[in-house]
């Protein structure tokens, strides 16, 4: 918990913005001019957004493996495929991803 508090304090000092700057919904994030990062599936303050890293995630060598689903079945297989374009728009509250994508996310960050 202390690490998290330290992170948010550092965020506020470095950007001059509070940790909740992007709000609690896609509409609030867009109104605050935050940018959606597909790798973390979260809205970020413009100062914290890394366009090169996001471009690598969306269009780089691993991008062909990106798959998003609305839910999963009892075998944990994805159900209700979501297009990358829809997922990248940042309007969906929660998505399911495959294990390969999860591992690549961890390597990417």
- Distance (Å, rounded) from C-alpha 78 to C-alpha 92? 16
Q: Does 91 reside within a domain?
A: yes
Tens digits of per-residue pLDDT, 22-35? 999 999 999 999 99
Q: Does 6 reside within a domain?
A: no
Q: Does 12 reside within a domain?
A: no
Q: Does 16 reside within a domain?
A: no
Domain containing 104 equals 21-108
Q: Does 1 reside within a domain?
A: no
- Distance (Å, rounded) from C-alpha 44 to C-alpha 50? 9
Q: Does 4 reside within a domain?
A: no
The greatest distance separating any two alpha carbons of the chain, rounded to the nearest whole angstrom, comes to 45
pLDDT at 40 over 60: yes
Tens digits of per-residue pLDDT, 44-65? 999 999 999 899 888 888 788 8
pLDDT of 9 reads 46
Token pair recorded at residue 18: 């509070």
Look at the chain and report how many structural domains it folds into.
1
Q: Does 59 reside within a domain?
A: yes
- Distance (Å, rounded) from C-alpha 101 to C-alpha 37? 15
pLDDT of 80 reads 95
What is the average pLDDT value for the chain, to the nearest integer? 82
């Amino acid at each position: 918990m202390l690490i998290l508090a330290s992170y948010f304090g550092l965020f506020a000092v470095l950007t001059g913005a509070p940790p909740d700057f992007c709000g609690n919904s896609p509409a609030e994030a867009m109104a605050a001019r935050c940018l959606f990062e597909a790798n973390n599936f979260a809205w970020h303050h413009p100062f914290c957004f890394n366009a090169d890293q996001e471009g690598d995630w969306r269009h780089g060598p691993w991008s062909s493996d990106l798959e998003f689903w609305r839910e999963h079945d009892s075998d944990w297989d994805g159900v209700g495929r979501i297009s990358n374009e829809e997922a990248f728009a940042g309007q969906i509250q929660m998505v399911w991803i495959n294990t390969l994508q999860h591992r690549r996310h961890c390597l990417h960050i």
